[in-house]
Structure 1
Amino acid sequence: MRYHIQRACRMRFSVPAREHHVQIRLAPSHDQDQSVIRVLLDVAPKTHAARAYDGFGNLAHHFAILAAHEELSFEIEAEVETRHANPFDFDLVPSAHELDWIAERLRQSPRLWDLVLHRSAMTPELPQEIAGQTVPVLREGRQLIDQVQDLMRWMRGLIAYRPAEAEPALALVSALEGGAGSAGDLAHLLIAVARQWQVPARFVSGYLDAAYFDPDSSADLDALPQRQHHWAEVLIPGSGWTGFDPALGLLADATYVRVAVGRDAQDTAAIKQSCRGDGIAPEVDDRLSVSRLSLS
């Protein structure tokens, strides 16, 4: 599928800010599952934006406004073609050999160990039980892709998805104690369990087809505002990185546009910034539009 993406952000400061440095990860990634046709970035006040790739291969833009300013705005426009139409279309590795397949990938690419061993407040070591429910363990004789889907169903009893919450909590325990959270919180929980299985798993930020934000046809409701989405990817034998969206209970396909990947949400943050000034945090207006251009 081909998509046109527009992401516009405007920041207003109560008093002028200066020496304002901004790093953004908002452009779609270019990889085996999707091709970026074009990316345009416009910043006001006018300044040069540098492009660089971080340690996870994510495209980041960096720009700075050194002079005093009360407003900063930027807009990124991109066109991307996605190809991962059917996440189940791959040759299964027999379940008895799946762990050997993963072990070989870890041997060939030692950096993958970071996506097994990394722990943080967002993806912590989990106890044997959470809220009275036993945390799933990896079982013999069942395909890993099926076990991750079982895991998503198990998670529904722990954290209810709140679409209005755009960003994950700084600590997974907050979502677990509250019984509800964002798509990012659910992705972090899935990642934490997969890593306890010694299976590489990573956090993903990206965009969804606009149809996901349409109201239920049986309800007289307006469409939800489009927003950046988060899900997880697990290294599935025979397939490679496979997207699992526990918020929607789906496997990622061509209607998902990947932007950035990392160990957790800290690595994929859409906007990182620092500035000098005497005011409080700026007022932010962030808008997203994802339009499908074609099915091929």
Structure 2
Amino acid sequence: MRYSLTHTTRYKYEGAVTVSHHLARLAPRFLPGQRCPWHILEIKPEPVGRSVHNDAYGNVTTYFECEGSHTELEVTARSLVQVLPTATPDPASTPAWETIREDTSGDRLNLSTEAGAFRFASPIVPVGQEFAEYARPDFTPGRPILQATVALMNRIFTEFEFNPAATDVATPVIEVLQKKAGVCQDFAHLMLACLRSLSLPARYVSGYLETKPPAGQARLVGADASHAWVSVYCGENAGWIDADPTNNILPSERHITVAWGRDFSDVSPLRGVTLGAGGQTLAVEVDVEPID
């Protein structure tokens, strides 16, 4: 599938901003199953300087700075993305989850121990007994890692309510577990906490969903904004496998990957600091259109 992707972010400031510095992670990644032949970042007011680099996780990151009095900032990312069908291994054929836990905690550098960097708590995602206990019914002794991950994903989808009013960006993950409600970011953070509390490597993935589904297919939850899901390491042969607990699916051609990291704090689409302003309002528009 090919998609035309537009992501517009608008800030309106209560007072004039004289200087602002920003980081944007809005360019889709190049992956074995994904191509981004064209991407442009339009910024108003025109920045006095910008530079592009890859961060520690390989995400394309644009730094820009604006000078001169302004009361609004508008950033529009336009991309052409091609998502290719990729084969997902039979969940029952993946290694036992205990094997993954042991392989990724070794002291010799290889693909598994490199993935092990995602086994630990991060700024937003804690590890703890409560999360391990929630995951334990799905991670029975000897169960294949992907099979157990799919079961955990299904249980979060079944037992938790998608409710934007239940949480905000500062809601702790333990509160999400207690309320059993939240949005895609909450469900991704919760699933990460569960997996990492069992010492399993898992990372946060940000991206988009197809806005208008093919005829006869259901519209996915979260298609009007940036979406979030998780990726779990399933061994050197299977590699990283994505899982979307908000929609209870293993992502394929309808998911577009932009960035990944330990949690949302590593991959926020746009962040920055301003001199002046006071308060501000934020509006975000996302449109993902399939191209015949």
TM over 0.5: yes
Between Structure 1 and Structure 2, how many residues are aligned?
Answer: 287
CA contact (8 A) 1:128 1:135 kept: no
Deviation (angstroms), 1:33:
2.3
Q: 1:89 to 1:37 in 2, by over 3 A?
A: farther
Farther-moved stretch of structure 1 (265-274 vs 169-178): 169-178
Alignment partners' CA distance in 1, 2:227 and 2:97: 34
CA 1:197–1:112 in 2, change beyond 3 Å: closer, same or farther?
same
- The residue aligned with 2:179 is 178
In the superposition, relative to structure 1, how do residues 208 and 65 fare at CA in structure 2: closer, same or farther (>3 Å)?
same
Q: Is the 8 A contact 1:213 1:226 kept in 2?
A: no
Q: Which residue in 2 is equivalent to 1:205? A: 206
What's the C-alpha RMSD, in Å, of the aligned pairs? 3.3
Deviations 1:235-286 (A, max 9, x none): 1233211110001111111211001100111111111110011521x22221
The aligned runs of 1:49-60 (5 Å cut-off) are 49-60=50-61
| 2:290 alignment partner in structure 1 | 292
* Alpha-carbon separation, structure 2, partners of 1:92 and 1:64: 49
- Partner of 2:129 in structure 1? 127
Q: Report the alpha carbon displacement of residue 200 of structure 1 after superposing the two structures with TM.
A: 1.0
Instruction: Give 1:36's aligned residue.
Output: 36
- Map residues 223-234 of structure 1 onto 2, 5 A cutoff: 226-234=224-232
* Structure-to-structure mapping, 1:61-80, within 5 angstroms: 61-80=62-81
Give the 5 Å matches for 1:1-296: 1-47=1-47, 48-88=49-89, 92-93=93-94, 95=96, 98-99=99-100, 102=104, 107-109=109-111, 110-120=113-123, 122-128=124-130, 135-136=136-137, 138-156=139-157, 159-162=160-163, 168-211=169-212, 226-237=224-235, 238-280=237-279, 282-294=280-292
User: Tell me, which stretches of 5 or more residues in structure 2 are unaligned?
Assistant: none
| 177-186 vs 240-249, which moves further | 177-186
The 8 Å contact of residues 19 and 68 in structure 2, kept in 1 or not, is answered as yes
TM-score by length of 2: 0.85
Deviation at 1:89, TM superposition (A): 6.6
1:176 deviation in Å? 2.3
DSSP-derived class of the 1:210 partner: coil
Alpha-carbon displacement from aligned partner over 1:60-107 (angstroms, at most 9, x marks no partner):
111111211111112111011112444347993454995366567974
Other structure's SS at 1:279 match: coil
- Write the letter of the residue equivalent to 2:257: R
In 1, the alpha carbon distance for the partners of 2:135 and 2:82 equals 41
Q: Distance in 1 between matches of 2:70 and 2:214?
A: 35
Question: How far 1:3 moved relative to its partner?
Answer: 1.0
Distance 1:140 1:92, change over 3 A: same
Cα 1:139–1:105 change in 2 (3 A) is farther
Report if aligned partners of 2:157, 2:248 keep a CA contact under 8 Å in 1: no
Match of 1:220?
none
Deviation at 1:289, TM superposition (A): 0.7
Residues 21 and 65 in structure 2, CA contact (< 8 A), matched pair in contact too: yes
Spell out, residue by residue over 1:29-57, the C-alpha distance to the aligned partner (whole angstroms, 9 max, x if none).
Answer: 11222111111111111124311111011
Secondary structure of the residue aligned to 2:58 is: coil
2:131, 2:194 within 8 Å by CA — same for their partners in 1?
Answer: no
Return the alpha-carbon distance in structure 1 between the equivalents of residues 245 and 40 of structure 2: 32
Q: Distance in 2 between matches of 1:166 and 1:96?
A: 31
Bigger shift: 200-209 or 17-26? Answer: 17-26
* Matched-pair identity in %: 23
Structure-2 separation of matches of 1:45 and 1:84: 39
Question: How far apart, CA to CA, are the structure 1 residues paired with 2:170 and 2:104?
Answer: 30
Structure 1 residue 127: Cα displacement? 2.2
Report the Cα distance in structure 1 between the residues aligned to 2:168 and 2:25, rounded to whole angstroms: 15
When residues 144 and 16 of structure 1 are mapped into structure 2, their CA distance, relative to the original with a 3 A threshold, is same
What is the CA–CA distance in structure 1 between the aligned matches of 2:142 and 2:223, rounded to whole Å? Answer: 43
TM-score (norm 1): 0.84
Distance in 2, matches of 1:179 and 1:91, equals 28
CA contact (8 A) 2:95 2:234 kept: no
Is the Cα–Cα contact under 8 Å of residues 106 and 113 in structure 1 kept in the other structure?
Answer: no
